[in-house]
């Protein structure tokens, strides 16, 4: 029996199952895999002290062969990712629409495991790449595993699974050069976009602020594909899923994302781990958008088209439950790398629609996972195995863990009374919804799929002016990075369909002719497409307290208490590690130095000041932090001794800069500013 390395509080059933596999090696004798105790793990076996190695050194052979076989193929897409364990709590019964067990009653909890990922880069790439992000959720339900797969935008880049493979070839590093890593800013990607106009819509989402998330804790996710809910009576409803982060959806600026990519490529995974360790469990509410079968053709867009969103203003997202991530992984490889999400893993009450992207996806994942995990038996790995037992006649294969002891392994038998038996739908056996299908075998495209520009135009119309400005910068950077002038020109000529003014500015920036023609005549806009519509909180944002010896003890203690009260994460930043001492003897432990952290990694700064051995360096470090925070529109709190750092003629005009001097309410005002996140009106 293996050991349990985790503490015993509040373990759900999946955690208890995983405990069966958790092993702690510390404090134990080292052995070979066959359990022979090892006496020396540092020297190879040699014939004489200075003689040649011996073939009988089987311990070395085992050690080296294990080492060189440690890595498995990366995921073809989504190689870079991270995740955590958690649970889902149902808020209200969805019985009326679906018989899925985990949605039947309010209060029902289901354990789950998630993995967030970028798409383009390899496993070792940076977290902050401008990219679409994905979320795989494995619900360990009482009826078997249900895998929900989602992306961070409401639209995908292709309308048909067949095209996904081409767009990924165009998006990933170019075949001749192997570059660029984790970036779409290159010729083949933009050549693809220009020549496959269905790609434009999602590309604009990647170019928007939504493509640069601040944190996985602030990432929304959309199923994009259309599924079916099916209830006990067999009535089906079209459904799309949306997860809304309770903290709201927020982003980095392009400059920040690029810098952080170098300063801390693990920015998002570190943020997720830290928040969970601090007890600030990430939460996301599940919304379902539903369309009755009879309304299938009611909308201007085709509801089976993955490149079209379902506007929440027309099809509201009914909130039905909440996911909380409350436990970090213990082993990145065993839990994250071996996790296998598959949209084909569904439970009774959920079914597939005819969405042509989804139909192709149903085959892609198992094929990828057989290859990546090396055996058809990967469902038996601890992270993938369901909580309920599984029985069938599938046997053998590499790494078969089970010892099936039956006499038979075929269906319709008499020897084992025709078992394992099939279950009639009425008793829980899965039955596909009997969708009526008619028509000729074809590769034709449904008519509404050809509308490539209406929704991109609506998306553009819905953005605030600062969001539009960010998108123009992103387009100018990305298209401007293409060597081919023809590719640059083609993209500008495509963008004009979305917005003439935007395409003209981009044309000027990337050195090609201004586009002729005009955008599509659509003036609709939806607030839900802009980040401006999502909530903001100071809770769990990171404030760097820039401090030296002799700081104002009373003021800093009060401010830190207020920050703590609102759950703001505080990082004490000093000239050196150790402690700093205030004017009243208060001691603060320094968490980071000006060198080990960076203003790019902080959401806000509190300029306290004080003294340090090298005052010139101390002051210049503080000025650097202020400049970066100010330039990126971040809130800045200035302690009464920190005033000398702010060289402004009119301090009242510094939007988002909160001064402690003569302000008895400084702590609360500063927290309010942190919760505001960015001060776009700053000059
Ligand atoms: C709405 C569209 C899509 C969504 C929401 C989606 C989502 C996801 C998610 C969440 C993952 C799991 C990443 C992880 O393990 O953390 C994934 C992986 C993957 N996706 Fe998709 N995807 C979509 C479209 C497609 C299409 C059209 C294809 C191919 C036809 C595809 C092929 C793959 C492959 C091959 C993997 C890697 C699987 C593995 O090795 O485990 N995806 N996708």
Whole-number pLDDT of residue 647: 80
Q: How confident is the model at residue 332 (pLDDT cuts 50, 70, 90)?
A: very high
Q: 3-state DSSP: the chain helix, strand, coil percent, rounded to 5? A: 30, 15, 50
Q: How confident is the model at residue 4 (pLDDT cuts 50, 70, 90)?
A: very low
Whole-number pLDDT of residue 428: 85
Of 481, 511, 532, the residue that ends a domain is 532
Q: What is the CATH number of the domain that holds 499?
A: 1.20.1370.20
Taking residues 306-318, report their average pLDDT: 98
Whole-number pLDDT of residue 6: 43
Pocket-forming residues, ligand 1, beta carbon under 6 Å:
75-78, 81, 115, 117, 134-136, 149-151, 156, 161, 164, 224-225, 306, 339-341, 357, 360-361, 364-365, 368-369, 372
Produce one character per residue of 578-589: b if its CB has 16 or more CB atoms within 10 Å, e if not.
eebebeeeeebe
Q: Clarify whether residues 508 and 576 are in a common domain.
A: no
In a domain, 325, yes or no: yes
Which residue puts its alpha carbon closest to atom 26 of ligand 1? 361
Q: Clarify whether residues 487 and 574 are in a common domain.
A: no
Whole-number pLDDT of residue 476: 98
Instruction: Look at the chain and report how many structural domains it folds into.
Output: 3
| pLDDT tens track for 242-280 | 999 999 999 999 999 999 999 999 999 999 999 999 999
| pLDDT tens track for 443-487 | 999 999 999 999 999 999 999 999 999 999 999 999 999 999 999
Taking residues 186-208, report their average pLDDT: 98
* pLDDT over 80 (residue 369): yes
Q: Clarify whether residues 229 and 256 are in a common domain.
A: yes
* pLDDT over 60 (residue 2): no
Q: Clarify whether residues 468 and 584 are in a common domain.
A: no
Residue ranges with strand state E in 394-539: none
In a domain, 22, yes or no: no
Taking residues 358-386, report their average pLDDT: 97
Q: Clarify whether residues 555 and 511 are in a common domain.
A: no
In a domain, 459, yes or no: yes
How far, in Å, from the CA of 134 to the mean position of ligand 1? 8
Q: 665 φ, ψ to 5°?
A: -100, 20
Q: Clarify whether residues 458 and 601 are in a common domain.
A: no
In a domain, 510, yes or no: yes
- How far is it between the farthest Cα atoms of the chain? 93
Q: How confident is the model at residue 426 (pLDDT cuts 50, 70, 90)?
A: confident
Whole-number pLDDT of residue 10: 72
In a domain, 199, yes or no: no
In a domain, 178, yes or no: no
Whole-number pLDDT of residue 36: 95
How far, in Å, from the CA of 446 to the mean position of ligand 1? 24
CA–CA dist 343, 470 (Å, integer) = 34
Rounded to two decimals, the pTM is: 0.96
In a domain, 244, yes or no: yes
Nearest-atom index, ligand 1, CA of 357: 27
Taking residues 291-318, report their average pLDDT: 98
C-alpha pair distances (Å), 566 with each of 218, 569, 573, 638, 667: 18, 9, 20, 19, 10
Q: Clarify whether residues 574 and 504 are in a common domain.
A: no
Q: What is the CATH number of the domain that holds 652?
A: 3.40.50.880
Q: Which residues are annotated as a binding site for heme?
A: 75, 115, 164, 361, 365, 372
Whole-number pLDDT of residue 9: 55
In the chain, the percentage of residues whose pLDDT exceeds 70 is 99
Whole-number pLDDT of residue 683: 76
Q: 560 φ, ψ to 5°?
A: -65, -35
Q: Clarify whether residues 361 and 225 are in a common domain.
A: yes
Nearest to 239, CA basis, from 350, 139, 144, 91: 350
Whole-number pLDDT of residue 653: 80
Whole-number pLDDT of residue 1: 31
| pLDDT tens track for 62-83 | 999 999 999 999 999 999 999 9
Of 350, 380, 410, the residue that ends a domain is 380
Q: Clarify whether residues 242 and 150 are in a common domain.
A: yes
Of 493, 512, 532, the residue that ends a domain is 532
Q: Provide the Cα torsion 237, 243, 249, 253; round to 10°.
A: -90
CA–CA dist 67, 677 (Å, integer) = 46
| pLDDT tens track for 557-588 | 999 999 999 999 999 999 999 999 999 999 99
Residue ranges with strand state E in 311-405: 318-327, 350-352
Taking residues 587-611, report their average pLDDT: 98
Q: Clarify whether residues 513 and 565 are in a common domain.
A: no
Round the average pLDDT of the chain to a whole number and report it.
96
In a domain, 200, yes or no: no
Q: Clarify whether residues 523 and 547 are in a common domain.
A: no
Q: What is the CATH number of the domain that holds 102?
A: 2.40.180.10
How far, in Å, from the CA of 306 to the mean position of ligand 1? 14
Q: Clarify whether residues 516 and 652 are in a common domain.
A: no
Q: How confident is the model at residue 648 (pLDDT cuts 50, 70, 90)?
A: confident
Whole-number pLDDT of residue 3: 33
- Structural element, H or E, at residue 81: strand 81-90
Q: Which domain holds residue 577?
A: 536-676
Mutate which of 72, 73, 76, 77 for ligand 1? The one with the most ligand atoms within 8 Å of its CB, which is 77
């Amino acid at each position: 029996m293996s050991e349990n390395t985790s503490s015993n509080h509040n373990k759900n059933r999946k955690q208890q199952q995983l405990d069966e596999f958790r092993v702690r090696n510390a404090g134990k004798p080292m052995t070979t895999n066959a359990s022979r105790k090892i006496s020396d793990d540092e020297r190879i076996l040699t014939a004489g002290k200075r003689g040649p190695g011996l073939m009988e050194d089987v311990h070395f052979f085992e050690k080296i062969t294990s080492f060189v076989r440690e890595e498995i193929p990366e995921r073809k897409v989504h190689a870079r990712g991270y995740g955590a364990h958690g649970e889902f709590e149902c808020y209200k019964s969805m019985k009326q629409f679906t018989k899925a067990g985990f949605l039947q009653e309010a209060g029902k909890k289901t354990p789950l495991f998630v993995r967030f990922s970028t798409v383009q880069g390899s496993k070792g790439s940076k977290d902050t790449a401008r990219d679409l992000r994905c979320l795989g959720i494995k619900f360990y339900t009482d009826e078997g595993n249900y895998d929900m797969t989602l992306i961070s935008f409401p639209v995908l880049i292709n309308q048909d699974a067949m095209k996904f493979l081409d767009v990924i070839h165009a998006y990933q590093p170019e075949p001749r050069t192997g570059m660029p890593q984790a970036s779409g800013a290159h010729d083949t990607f933009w050549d693809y976009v220009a020549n496959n106009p269905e790609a434009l819509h999602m590309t604009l989402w990647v170019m928007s602020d939504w493509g640069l998330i601040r944190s996985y804790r602030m990432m929304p996710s959309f199923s994009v594909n259309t599924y079916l809910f099916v209830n006990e009576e067999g009535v089906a409803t079209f459904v799309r899923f949306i997860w809304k982060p309770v903290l709201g959806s927020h982003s980095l600026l392009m400059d920040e994302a690029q810098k952080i990519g170098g300063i801390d490529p693990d920015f998002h995974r570190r943020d997720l781990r830290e928040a969970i360790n601090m007890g600030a469990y990430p939460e996301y509410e599940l919304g379902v958008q539903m369309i009755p079968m009879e309304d299938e053709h009611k909308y201007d867009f085709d509801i089976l088209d993955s490149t079209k969103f379902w506007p929440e203003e027309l099809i509201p997202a009914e909130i039905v439950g909440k996911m909380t991530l409350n436990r970090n992984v213990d082993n990145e490889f065993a839990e994250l790398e071996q996790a296998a999400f598959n949209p084909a893993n569904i439970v009774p009450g959920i079914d597939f629609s005819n969405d042509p992207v989804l139909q192709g996806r149903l085959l892609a994942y198992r094929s990828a996972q057989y290859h990546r995990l090396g055996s058809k038996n990967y469902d038996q790995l601890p992270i993938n195995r369901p909580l309920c037992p599984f029985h069938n006649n599938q046997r053998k294969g590499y790494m078969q863990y089970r010892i099936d002891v039956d006499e038979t392994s075929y269906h319709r038998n008499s020897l084992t009374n025709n078992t394992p038996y099939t279950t009639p739908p009425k008793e829980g056996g899965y039955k596909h919804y009997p969708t009526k299908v008619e028509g000729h075998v074809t590769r034709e495209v449904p008519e509404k799929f050809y509308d490539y520009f209406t929704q991109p135009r609506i998306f553009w119309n819905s953005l605030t002016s600062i969001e539009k400005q960010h998108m123009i910068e992103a387009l100018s950077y990305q298209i401007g990075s293409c060597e081919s002038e023809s590719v640059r020109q083609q993209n500008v000529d495509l963008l004009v369909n979305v917005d003439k003014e935007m395409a003209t500015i981009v044309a000027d920036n990337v050195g090609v002719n201004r586009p002729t023609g005009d955008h599509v005549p659509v003036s609709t806009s939806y607030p839900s497409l802009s980040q401006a519509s999502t909530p903001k909180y100071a809770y769990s944002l990171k404030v760097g307290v820039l401090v030296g010896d002799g700081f104002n003890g009373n003021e800093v203690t009060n401010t830190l208490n207020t920050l703590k009260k609102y759950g703001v994460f505080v990082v004490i930043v000093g000239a050196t590690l150790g402690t700093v001492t205030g004017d009243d003897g208060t001691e603060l432990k320094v968490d980071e130095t000006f060198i080990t952290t960076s203003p790019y990694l902080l959401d806000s700064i509190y300029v306290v000041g004080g003294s340090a051995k090298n005052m010139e360096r101390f002051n210049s470090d503080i000025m650097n932090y202020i400049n970066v925070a100010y330039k990126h529109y971040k809130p800045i709190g200035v302690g009464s001794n920190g005033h000398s750092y702010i060289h402004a003629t009119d301090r009242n005009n510094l939007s988002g800069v909160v001064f402690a001097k003569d302000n008895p309410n400084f702590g609360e005002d500063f927290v309010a500013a942190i919760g505001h996140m960015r001060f776009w009106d700053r000059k």
